[in-house]
Amino acid sequence: MKTIDELLSEGVAGKRVFVRADLNVPLDGTTITDDGRIRAVVPTVKALADGGARVIVASHLGRPKGAPDPVFSLAPAAARLGELLGADVAFAEDTVGTAAEAAVNGLADGRVAVIENLRFNPGETSKDDTERAAFADKLAGLADVYVGDGFGAVHRKHASVFDLPKRLPHYAGYLIATEVGVLKKLTDDVERPYVVALGGAKVSDKLAVIDQLLGKADRLLIGGGMAYTFLKAQGHEVGISLLQEDQVPVVKEYMERAEKSGVELVLPVDVLVATEFPDLKTKAPANPATVAADAIPADQEGLDIGPETRKLYASKLADAATVFWNGPMGVFEHPDYAEGTKAVAQALVDAPGFTVVGGGDSAAAVRTLGFDENAFGHISTGGGASLEYLEGKTLPGLAALED
């Protein structure tokens, strides 16, 4: 795929450049609680603006139902982008209507505008090719050039991600180029030992990537809510812990495959349990108990890996030359259940090799728990996109940039 450096070498002064970013940041009302994705697109936007381009930044935020919804407005993200750029950023209160046209037409060379949430238009996410194409045609009318830099959305066959690049000269922004380069280090000529730590709520979300990794990774460390389906597959009581009973047969098969293929599959040896899920708003003390992973009481719920598991996982990461981590080890949003996730993050910091935090909740956890982002080899902006790449899937947004 052609990159933004090639575009800049050709000259962008006076050109209208559409940047498909990922500004899908978490909000508490109108307050951004983690601006990592906005910061990630700044280098691309700044380079284009410095080159004299008229930059139109577009993104989705949340899951509005194809119509304007103030809860999902990009206005806070546009304001934060302006702060990070140190320049005024215009904001259009629609996507392809009169406000967007006025904002774009009013741009001077080197200035930036953000248009409203793309998902306010049903054509953005439509499964109907004709409806999606019609929206892409309208977006194309706003610009002369397309730059894809929203890595967190490249696994979606959406109008601004898949259809729009076909209508304009297209290039990969700095973020996408970096993300793809990192993922190639996890799939091509991987330095070993290669250790993958997987957490999060549902094992079903990770089965496809586990299937691929059983032939590539040296060790798989399993935590989070998905661990209890593995423990159940071993025949253990998991109480009222998160469990996907229908996935137990598949998990058993994967455990057998891991053993046959020489992949070390490491499960929790102890967990923190409680009778109810903690209050994440008040952060009231939960007073969890620590029990062996094979001795979870029938009326208790596992909510984090225990102290012995933390030590075990740290030891399994200590000599890693390559690490990929996706998914927290427990309910890290509550201080009583944050130690497992914190221990894995610290083990990545201490590991001698190349460490990748695979986006989503893992990236949020790193920032929430106060880690220096520069202590990791790479923090991805797209958890779902990273996983699908590792699964070997073709990502529509990347395929569109490669044409």
> pLDDT by residue for the chain (403 residues), tens digit each?
999 999 999 999 999 999 999 999 999 999 999 899 999 999 999 999 999 999 999 999 999 999 999 999 999 999 999 999 999 999 999 999 999 999 999 999 999 999 999 999 999 999 999 999 999 999 999 999 999 999 999 999 999 999 999 999 999 999 999 999 999 999 988 999 999 999 998 889 899 999 999 989 999 999 999 999 999 999 999 999 999 999 999 999 999 999 999 999 999 999 999 999 999 989 999 989 999 999 999 999 999 999 999 999 999 999 999 999 999 999 999 999 999 999 999 999 999 999 999 877 898 899 889 999 999 999 999 888 999 999 889 999 999 999 7
Token code pair at residue 294: 């094979």
Q: Could you give the CA distance from residue 366 to residue 359 in angstroms, rounded to a whole number?
A: 10
Q: Which tokens hold the place of 380?
A: 């991805």
Q: Are 236 and 296 in contact (CB under 8 A)?
A: yes
CA 300 – CA 281 distance, rounded (Å):
21
pTM of this prediction? 0.90
Which string of b and e fits 206-240 if b means at least 16 CB within 10 Å? bbebbeebbeebbbbbbbbbbbbbbbbbeebebbb
What amino acid positions are annotated as catalytic residues?
37, 202, 360, 384
Residue 173 and residue 350 in contact, taking contact as beta carbons nearer than 8 Å: no
Q: What pLDDT does residue 57 have?
A: 98
CA atoms of 163 and 132, how far apart (whole Å): 7
Number of neighbours of residue 162 by Cβ within 10 angstroms: 23
Whole-number Å distance between alpha carbons of 29 and 181? 35
Same fold, 4-175 and 182-380: yes
What CA dihedral angle connects 20, 23, 29 and 33, to 10 degrees? Answer: 180
Q: What is the CATH class of 4-175?
A: alpha beta
User: What would the 3-class secondary structure string for the chain be?
Assistant: CCEHHHHHHHCCCCCEEEEECCCCCCEECCEECCCHHHHHHHHHHHHHHHCCCEEEEECCCCCCCCCCCHHHCCHHHHHHHHHHHCCCEEEECCCCCHHHHHHHHCCCCCCEEEECCHHHCCCCCCCCHHHHHHHHHHHHCCCCEEEECCHHHCCCCCHHHHHHHHHCCEEECHHHHHHHHHHHHHHCCCCCCEEEEECCCCHHHCHHHHHHHCCCCCEEEECCCCHHHHHHHCCCCCCCCCCCHHHHHHHHHHHHHHHHHCCEEECCCEEEEECCCCCCCCCCCCCCEEEECCCCCCCCEEEEECHHHHHHHHHHHCCCCEEEEECCCCCCCCHHHCHHHHHHHHHHHHCCCEEEECCHHHHHHHHHCCCCHHHCCEECCCHHHHHHHHCCCCCHHHHHHHC
| pLDDT given for residue 184 in this prediction | 92
Output the pLDDT for position 359.
74
Q: What pLDDT does 202 receive?
A: 86
Residue positions forming the annotated binding site for substrate: 22-24, 37, 60-63, 119, 156
State how far Cα 35 lies from the chain centre. 13
Neighbours of 331 (CB within 10 A): 25
Separation of alpha carbons 214 and 220, rounded Å: 8
CATH of domain 182-380: 3.40.50.1260
Is the separation of the CB atoms in 124 and 161 below 8 Å? no
Other Cβ atoms closer than 10 A to 127:
7
In contact, 64 and 27? CB cutoff 8 Å = no
Q: Which residues line the annotated binding site?
A: 22-24, 37, 60-63, 119, 156, 206, 302, 333, 359-362
Q: What is the residue extent of each domain of the chain?
A: 4-175, 182-380
Annotation: binding site for (2R)-3-phosphoglycerate: 37, 119, 156
- Looking at residue 396, its pLDDT comes to 97
Please report the pLDDT score of residue 95 as a whole number. 97
- For the annotated binding site for ATP, the residues are 206, 302, 333, 359-362
State both tokens at 41. 């697109």
Distance CA 131, CA 123 (A): 5
Task: Give the pair of three-digit tokens for residue 382.
Answer: 């797209």
